[in-house]
Chains A and B, each alone.
Chain A
Amino acid sequence: MSAPPEALDPAFAADATVVVDDVSVWFGQKVALSELSCSFGPGVTGLLGPNGAGKTTLMRAMCGLIPPRRGQVSVLGHDPRGHRDVQSRIALVPEEDAVPEALTARQLVRYQATLNGITDTDAVERSLAEVSLTDVADRRLGGYSKGMRQRAKVAAALVTDPEVLVLDEPLNGADPVQRVALIELFQRLGAAGRTVVVSSHVLHEVERLAERVIVIVHGRLAAAGGHRAIRDAMADRPRRVLLRSDDDRRLATGLLGLDQVVAVELAEGGVTISTGNAGELAHALPGLSRRLDVRLREVRALDASLDSVFADLTSR
């Protein structure tokens, strides 16, 4: 394994339980992870990235389901593929919908408990209760909604009381009430010293969940740190905003005088501007509108999708 990471590097956790060291994974011609190094420690860490960024591959490599082509992964100091017993300390909640449909939730959780050598007979019921599935635990998983299946998978993961819990888009399909309950559950586990890694492609979801965020784009580490630092990094990037008003020409002239505006383009559909600080621009616009006596009809970010934000982060 390579030299320990620098203590101040936000990609590395101080008391790491999972270490990803220079890991590359590719499938044929497609590179899924490229020379990725980071680590995860106690608490909740968000794994953020657009679809196809490599989050799922990283999580599967962390659990040993996929062997790295280069580099190493260690969980609690062990290779998760080579050391079978480490599987009792790590649990994965996969994103995909697949579950053994003929089993009931209780059977699935009990199966996991038995295979992991859990002798506490109440553990199964406790896990089902944690995700509010007790009442429907004897129904077959094939009849569950997507959100219920997701919760059943969480219950199956929790029954082993894992030290490392890896959750791939765990809130997919959950209703708002269940989302809140699951977020609280993950935060409670993190606060109790468990290493909880949660992936999402939704920034605000990760913000609610995790105090530390690792951003992956195109299989590479794009950013890491507290979610405020990540958001600030994203807010600093130039953004394109479309403005429509009752007098676009006059508005365009006025916009040229604003410090926040980098470029102005007048077209038939409105005024498109580039801004280096979208937040300050939002504050300045009402005053400008009053001063010019122009009525704003629409203010819309043109590139607010996460993909463009992520793309910008990687191009730095």
Chain B
Amino acid sequence: MTAPAALRPTGSPLRRFPALVAYVPRACLPARRLAVLALPCATILLSGLLSRALDDSAARAFTDVAVLAIFGLAMPLGTLVIGDAVLGAEVRSGTLGFTWLTPVRFWELTLARWLGGWLIALVTVVPSAAVAAVIAGAGSLIGPVVAATAAGAAAHIALFVLIGALTRRAAVWSLAIVFVVERLLGAVLSGIAQLSPTWQGQAVFTGLGDVAGAPRRRGIPEGWEAVTRLGLITVVCLALATVGLRRLQLTGARD
């Protein structure tokens, strides 16, 4: 039996962390995935245009369309494309080994992947939502829609990172959770809606926008309370993802 050898210092997390975050936009989103991400962004822009066709005030029309098209469809899909790319796709392809086989701590890896993904959402999904509000002529809702999509994207990406750390079929499970659990069950059960980034993102928007007569989900916190709830969901998902990464088996792409 060999005596444990002394291990050389492996550097500070502060030095590693920027490299870990920078890896995400450089390596995790190839051109093909960016093209796929362009679709939900285009849907968000289109929703701004569509709201102009409604016979209502600009703010009310944009709120109605945004609740359905942005928070109910485009934002979950856009963040799914990003969230799956930052971890799940790497587990499937076998490239996560390049990061896993380093002294990087699992919490660093989880946090960096989430942050890298969120930064991508902040320059793609979130500005699209702001531009959609401008297109809709609802300038007063730019702030609420930016806050809601930014907070919603943070929680959604954390959720998809968690799914990527738990299963190899991350994309399929992510789709199932968005449409079956969040949309379908969340529409009926407030307990699920309270934990759903989709519903909570929508609640941030409707709460902060406070447009008269706008559709509101009962039984869940709104506005800044919903932002806090989304922050909690993000933290819990990232903590669980760290545990998941610790238990992950990287068997390779062929297995």
Contact = CB atoms under 8 A, between A and B. Distances in A.
A117 B3 CA distance: 24
B21 to A, nearest CB: 12
Given A74-B2, A78-B5, A102-B26, 18 more contacts: A19-B1, A60-B250, A65-B97, A66-B251, A76-B5, A76-B7, A84-B106, A85-B103, A86-B7, A98-B95, A100-B28, A103-B27, A111-B98, A114-B19, A115-B99, A116-B103, A117-B15, A117-B103
B100 A156 contact: no
Interface in B2-51: 2-5, 7-12, 15-16, 19-20, 23, 26-31
Contact of A100 (B16, B20, B98, B255): B98
Contact of A92 (B26, B101, B254): B101
B140 interface: no
Contacts of B94: 94, 96, 98
B26 A115 contact: no
Interface in A109-144: 111-112, 114-119, 142
Interface residues of B, number: 42
Interface of A: 1, 4, 15-17, 19, 27, 56-57, 60, 63-67, 74, 76-78, 83-92, 94-96, 98-103, 107-108, 111-112, 114-119, 142, 156, 163
Contacts of A119: 11
Contacts of A76: 2, 4-5, 7
A99 to B, nearest CB: 6
A4 B1 CA distance: 6
A94 B27 contact: no
A16 B2 contact: yes
Nearest to B3: A77
A96 B104 contact: no
Contacts of A90: 101
A66 B2 contact: no
23 contacts: A15-B2, A65-B249, A67-B249, A74-B1, A74-B2, A76-B2, A76-B5, A86-B7, A94-B94, A98-B95, A98-B253, A100-B28, A102-B26, A111-B23, A114-B16, A114-B19, A115-B99, A116-B11, A117-B8, A117-B16, A142-B30, A156-B98, A163-B5
Contact of A60 (B15, B252, B253): B252
Interface of B: 1-5, 7-12, 15-16, 19-20, 23, 26-31, 93-95, 97-106, 249-255
Nearest to A39: B2
A86 B101 CA distance: 9
Interface centre among B10, B93, B254, B255 (most CB of A within 10 A): B10
A119 B11 CA distance: 9
Nearest to A76: B5
Nearest to B12: A117
B103 A60 contact: no
B15 A85 contact: no
B5 A77 contact: yes
Nearest to B254: A96
A84 B105 contact: yes
Main secondary structure on chain B at its contact with chain A? loop
Contacts of A27: 251, 255
Contacts of B26: 100, 102-103, 107
Contacts of B7: 76, 78, 83, 85-86, 88-89
Given A88-B7, A100-B27, A111-B23, A66 B249 contact: yes
Given A63-B101, A96-B252, A98-B93, A115 B20 contact: yes
Nearest 9 A/B pairs, CB to CB: A117-B11, A77-B4, A100-B27, A98-B94, A76-B5, A115-B102, A65-B250, A114-B19, A117-B10
Among the interface residues B28, B29, B102, which one has the most CB atoms of the partner chain A within 10 A? B102
B156 to A, nearest CB: 23
Contacts of A66: 249-251
B72 to A, nearest CB: 32
A30 B95 CA distance: 24
Given A65-B250, A115-B103, A85 B27 contact: no
A66 B97 CA distance: 11
B97 A92 contact: yes
Contacts of A116: 10-11, 102-103
A91 B98 contact: no
B37 to A, nearest CB: 14
A65 B12 CA distance: 23
B209 to A, nearest CB: 38
A100 B23 CA distance: 10
A127 B98 CA distance: 16
A114 B101 contact: no
Nearest to A113: B19
A56 B252 contact: yes
Nearest to A21: B1
